[in-house]
Every structure is written in structure tokens, then in C-alpha cells.
Structure 1
């Protein structure tokens, strides 16, 4: 049972200057689905704070200070077809909640869908499915919302929802790192500092009159966690390499993400084909790629916003499902990204292709795509607020049918993939012998081989 203890809005510690009061959204921001980037971080009771109120006080104080640097996060934008963020300093929503049970019990016994109740108003990927009436009725969107969930053991689950209209998942993780550094300073009775200031690019005012692509999650979809231990990933990489020998496109050193992505795509497409009692149908995968360090004119790594592009890899026949074909095409498309001059070139291309007919066609393709998002290597297990590192970092149930979110496992033990499929497809894939040779399936919110090492 989740009980809301308090709700307030944390405003920036310093007012936003007049010349920064309006933050224009880029053409890419306007195309982005009207969703949120949700992430939940679990911390055991470290014993550092003897009074939980002091811990909450430091969190609020550090959030107020970090919002002066991330000033658009304290603003509001229109719910439908926004073109800018009103940096009005109304603040981020901060909710305290208590959970009836221990952190260990929750992780071991909850289903992945149970994570929704840890988020502000149940606000995860899709704002239209929020449990709070005032969120649904409002004409504006609160850019950033935080819910601190305290368990009976004094462990915490910090759940954060950030509007995708303003920033991508990379930006969310960077914000959490910076907030944690600020909070760590306050917990040591020091002034919190952020080594590198976040960079918000200035965009010209643009209006494509489009509310953004939609991500629909049907009621027959379920999310399961598939964990690939490092030893199994090594075996999978050897298999991929061996399968491509003599093909003319030998994949000599597949990355761990490439190998896992190929296997999951192959097994997911096969599961869909079996559940429909049908033959192979052409399909494709979409892979959002961080553009910041890929273009000729790179963006600073501290650049906050939506700076990704979606690679589209089509499989028109079963031959193209082979690893050398699939991984080879992913690599070919990544090479093309390195030829892009700058971010302005990307936005100009998007503006040219933003006609209604083109956007409708892209929406139909998105509805049927297998979408793979990788947050591997983002150091999420190093987000340290002053009371130790997290024992679990994850996201709620998938944003859409046929979605896959790749995350680092704790202690660099492997890769965890949150897989969202139709239930009939999930029943097949989680019994797939080829997949089970390399992955462990966890039905609940906890990893199948996760063992607590701290007081929970």
C-alpha cells in the first residue's frame, strides 16, 4: 500500500533571468511523443541519517539549487502541441510517500507493473494514463516530478518523471548525477557543486503544429525483465561471430549490446509469428542513437535536450535476420551518422519531412516497430546522493508494444533488458530455449540473480 505523506513544489533557489524565461522547443522536440522519461532508483537504509526528515530536507534543498542550473525543468509547457517551455519557476513537483512493507519484500514480490505506483500520480511513460485527475484536466504539463517512497526499513525508492518534450533519457541521467552531486555536498554540510554547467541550446521559434507521435500500450501487453550475465554475453558474442564466418560479412567482435539486441529481435519476431500462426512478415527495428558525439561538429556532452536519431533496420525476409545482416546494417547506418555535419543539419532535414502525410506514415511505422533503447554505460549505479550507491535502477513497464529497454545490471554483472510484448508473444519468448541459454527471466521487479548486500 502506498500512502501520500506530502506534496509541494520545489522552486529554483534563484529566479530565472528575464532573457531565459522562454525556452523554445526544437523541431525534434515537437515530434517527440508526449510522454515522460521515467526512472526509479532504490537505495537501502545506509544509517547515515538518523532522522529521515533531515534526508528529505537535503533532497529538497539540493533540488532547489540544481533547478537554477536546469531552469527549464522548473517550468511548464502546453499539454498539446507545445512549442516552448515557460520557464516561470513554478517548480518541480516533490511528493513524499510511505510504502507498507520493506524494500526487500517489494523487490522480491512485486510485479513490474507495480512500479507505477512509485511514480508521481502513476505518471510513467504516458501522461494520458496518469491516475491523478488534476494532471489529466490541466492544460499544461509539469516538466519534472519526483516521488520519494520510504519503506518500513527506511530504504528509499526515488522515482523521477521528466517530460520527454524537453529532454531525452541521457539528459535525465545526467540531471540525476548532477542533483546527486549537489545533494552529496549538502549531506556533508558543504556547498553542493556541479563540475560542469548543463548546456541548453537556443532554438529559433518554430511551430510545426503537431502534438508529437503517440506510443500506445494496449491492455494485453506485459513487461518482463531478461538478465544476461556477463559470462553468457561472452558466449553469445562467440556464437554471433561463429554464425557469421564465411558469410562475407564476418562479425569479428560484436559488442555486447549488438549481440543482445540481435538475439532478442530474432526471438521476438519468431514469437509474434508463432502466436499469429503465420509465416514470416517483413518488419523493422528502431534504435534511438545519441547524436552528441557522433556528428562532425559534436555537441558538448553536457548538452541537455533531445539529441537522438532513430536508426531503422528493415528485415524483409528471414535471411536478413541473420546476425551478419542485422548487425552489419546497424553498423552501416551508424557510420552514416558520423557524416552528419551538425545538429542544425538534422533539424533542417526534419523540418522538410514534417508534412502531415509524412508524419502519418511515420506514425504507422512506429506502431509496428520493435524499438530498442540502450542506457548501458550511463553509470546509473553511480548516482550517489550522500547515502551510498543504489542497489537497483530500473524503469516501469514498457512504453509501447514491442519495446526493449537495455540497462546495466548492478555491479557490472551484465545487461538487464525490460521487454514489453503482447501477453501471447511473451508466453512464447520467455520459454524460448535459445534465449534461455543466455538470459534469466524475472517475473517480478527484482532481478532473478540479485542478492541483497545491505540492510533492507
Structure 2
């Protein structure tokens, strides 16, 4: 096949459809303020075989449905001001339409994940938006293949976490399908009441959070797939008295963490120093507070990192002999600590002092020598599963191609669309990725970038 080319054929700016009175600025939360304004990509692939499919009408309806959805989710149409609030909701969302020079089925078989960045409108995991308030919070690109459509979304993490994106995209699909009973109405005020923003937030804390995400190294991104049978075997190995029934996500996260440690140690063999390996799992605050029914549809970064910490030294046994069940036990324990009592300490104006104590501790941890290795794990396995624009479930969710920024040591877990497998999208320093890809025990379980299965 010739080189895959993505050609932009039209550009629009989509604004909320309803003519509303002057809206009050939308307040960010303290958690939003601390989150770098990087763009997280996601691309949803939909093969379409309907012989009477009307492409021009479909494109027009998608634009109109997005405009109507933005009337409910109007903060996504605005711009961030002073890292405190969102205003200028008439600025709108950049919306591109593009033609791809191949059949969607052929593309899915080719597995050219490096092309995925061409299917989203804004640079992936870029820090460009941090100091520029002109940057949008959301961008959309509709990619037109022969016999299919891929909807690419760039969401700024300044406001959009997994649950926020899930609610918004499902609502857009519901409006497009004409199923208004499936619209998820957002709660736009509750999060800022719980975690109010600060106009005196020290710059050192913002810099800390940016530094934890961007390590200043060349990055390689690869996709590894764990099928259902393999995951079941990993779960069996991960069992322990403390965690008798590890979840699929727990087991795969533990397996990945173990082999990331193996890869790291292979590159630093002979060291005699103590080093911390930290696996930080993203947890949804909404489901971990007693206010769950109120928070479930709240917008914003209502997520937190649960750090599992492992101390490694020259006296540690052979790294490959680390027991998976012990790592999963650490992962499970760190998530258990993220409960209502824990988050209660950060609530309201009184919680700011506790937040500062937590951030100061993180600064101390990040400055110790040798520098701890921090791996972040985000699971999308409970999101986007029923994202339907009238063409059924997506055949595949693509995450990211080549990352040109220094965003590394990050893994996103995505459900396979045809069974109960899991795709792990891993971004590491290039040298460490090369070592991971030569690990025979890892490759016995993780298939490197196999073709996408058709349902």
C-alpha cells in the first residue's frame, strides 16, 4: 500500500448552538489548576457498510449534534484564564474534516500506530497550551476513510479527565442518534465547591506537577495486547491471601510494572544504590466519595494518583524473581487508601493546607538521589465502551502515535472491542523500550501491536 495520507478538506469552529444570556465564568478546581494543559488523544474507528450511507448529511449532522452538545458542556468551548476559570465560551471548538487515502479495514490490519497523530487536530501530549490562553480545551477531527469514519478527539487535561470525556462523547453520540434520553447532563459546579481554586497557588507546585509528567527524554510509544486467556493466567499468578481475586486491570498493571523494573535494572546493572520504583495508578475520585451520586457526572479532573512504592537496592534478589502477587498487593493497598476519609482531608478551603503538605512531600520524594522511577497507569477500561454514533460500537480505540514531547513512563490501558482483552499503550524512554521489547517473559504474554480483531 502507498503511504497513508491524511488530507484536511474543511475546517470549522463549532460553538454552542443555543443563544444564552451571558454565562458566568466556569471555575476550575484546585486539581485542574495543578494539572498540565496537555492534550490527550483518542481515536474511535467505525467501519460503515451501509450501502445508502449519506456522507455529506452525516458530516453536517455531526457538526450540528456537536454544537447542541456544547450547549450543555459549554466550558469545553471556552478558554482558560489565569489558571483560575474558563470564559469566552463563544471561542468554540476547532473541528476538522479529513480524507484518508485507504480503506478503514486495511488501515486496521496495517497497525500503523505512528499515523494516529494525524487523526487528531492538536499535537499529542504537548505542553504548548500551558502558557497560551488562546489554546482550546477540545478539538475534533472527523477522518473519512473508504468504508468508514474515525473520530479523533484532542482533550485538554486542564479540564477533561476520563469520566468527563466519556460523558461528553456519549452525549454527542446520543444527540446525533436522536436518542436524547441517553444524554448525560453534566454537573458543572460541584467539583469547584469541593476543591475550590486558589489565586495564590505557588508556581513551585505547578512546576512540580509538570516535571512529574515531562522527563525531558526521547520517548518511544508501543502498543501491547493481552488477550483474555493470557489475562486470566496473569490473574492466577497475581493471587494472594491479601488479594484473592485481583481484577484484570490490577493483574495487567502489576505485570507491566514488574517488567518495567526488569528493563530498568538491565540498563543499570552493577549499581549498588537504593532506588524507589513507584507505580502511580489513576483513580476516579467520584466513585470513592460518599457523594458519588452527586459527583458522578461532575466535570473536571476528579482523579488522583495512588502511588505504590517499592524499594530496590543491591541486596534485592534477582529482579526477575519479584513475585507478581507482591506487586499487586502493593497496588491494591495504595488504591484502598484513596477512600472518602482520605479525600475529605483535601476538601474545601481547609483542605488546601493538606494539599500543600502532600505536594511538599512529593517535592522531597522527587529530589532524593538516586531519582525515583515513577510509572503512571491510567485505565480506560470502564470508559467509551458504548460510544455509539449510530454505527454500533467502535472497532478500535487508538490512543497515540509517536510522542514528540518528553512525556514518558506512562501507560494507558484500553479494552479490546471484541473480547475481554486489554491493550496497553506504553510510552518509555527509547532505550528502556528497546530493552522491554527484548524481554522473552514479557513477550510471551504481551503481543506487540497485532492486527485489530474484527467483531
1:308 to 288, 303, 307: 303
Matching residue of 1:384: 388
Q: TM-score, normalised by structure 2?
A: 0.85
1:197 to 170, 179, 185: 185
Matching residue of 1:227: 225
Equivalent pair of 1:46/1:387 in contact (CA under 8 Å): no
Equivalent pair of 1:35/1:163 in contact (CA under 8 Å): yes
Task: Please list, as runs of the form range in 1=range in 2, the aligned pairs for 1:48-87 lying within 5 A after superposition.
Answer: 50-78=53-81, 82-87=83-88
Bigger CA drift: 395-404 or 28-37? 395-404
Q: What whole-Å deviation, never above 9, does each CA across 1:295-351 have from its counterpart, x for those lacking one?
A: 233343212211111111111034795334322232223332224276673465455
Matching residue of 1:414: 421
Task: Please list, as runs of the form range in 1=range in 2, the aligned pairs for 1:177-256 lying within 5 A after superposition.
Answer: 177-185=170-178, 192-202=180-190, 203=192, 204=196, 206-207=198-199, 208-210=201-203, 211=206, 213-214=209-210, 215-216=213-214, 220-241=218-239, 244=240, 249-256=241-248
SS class of match (1:37): strand
Shift in Å, 1:419: 0.9
Aligned residues: 425
Q: What whole-Å deviation, never above 9, does each CA across 1:42-65 have from its counterpart, x for those lacking one?
A: 111232653311111110111011
Task: Please list, as runs of the form range in 1=range in 2, the aligned pairs for 1:47-446 lying within 5 A after superposition.
Answer: 47=50, 50-78=53-81, 82-121=83-122, 123-128=123-128, 139-151=133-145, 153-185=146-178, 192-202=180-190, 203=192, 204=196, 206-207=198-199, 208-210=201-203, 211=206, 213-214=209-210, 215-216=213-214, 220-241=218-239, 244=240, 249-279=241-271, 281-298=275-292, 299-317=294-312, 318=316, 321-340=322-341, 345-346=346-347, 348-350=350-352, 352-354=354-356, 360-361=363-364, 368-378=373-383, 380-397=384-401, 400-442=407-449
Determine the C-alpha separation between the residues in 1 that align with 2:131 and 2:283.
Answer: 34
Bigger CA drift: 261-270 or 323-332? 323-332
Determine the C-alpha separation between the residues in 2 that align with 1:341 and 1:374.
Answer: 21
Bigger CA drift: 331-340 or 92-101? 331-340
Determine the C-alpha separation between the residues in 1 that align with 2:287 and 2:35.
Answer: 21
Determine the C-alpha separation between the residues in 2 that align with 1:91 and 1:16.
Answer: 14
Shift in Å, 1:142: 0.7
Q: TM-score, normalised by structure 1?
A: 0.84
Equivalent pair of 2:46/2:393 in contact (CA under 8 Å): yes
Shift in Å, 1:423: 2.3
Shift in Å, 1:87: 4.5
Determine the C-alpha separation between the residues in 2 that align with 1:362 and 1:431.
Answer: 31
Equivalent pair of 1:74/1:144 in contact (CA under 8 Å): yes
Bigger CA drift: 407-416 or 392-401? 392-401
Shift in Å, 1:16: 4.2
Equivalent pair of 2:258/2:324 in contact (CA under 8 Å): no
Bigger CA drift: 416-425 or 294-303? 294-303
RMSD (Å) for aligned C-alpha atoms? 2.8
Determine the C-alpha separation between the residues in 2 that align with 1:331 and 1:314.
Answer: 12
Structure 1: give runs of 5+ residues left out of the alignment.
129-134, 186-190, 443-447
Bigger CA drift: 286-295 or 365-374? 365-374
Q: What whole-Å deviation, never above 9, does each CA across 1:54-96 have from its counterpart, x for those lacking one?
A: 1111101110111111010111114xx5111114222111111
Equivalent pair of 1:150/1:157 in contact (CA under 8 Å): yes
Bigger CA drift: 205-214 or 26-35? 205-214
Determine the C-alpha separation between the residues in 2 that align with 1:308 and 1:175.
Answer: 17
Equivalent pair of 1:295/1:341 in contact (CA under 8 Å): no
**In the alignment, does 2:11 pair up with 1:7?**
yes
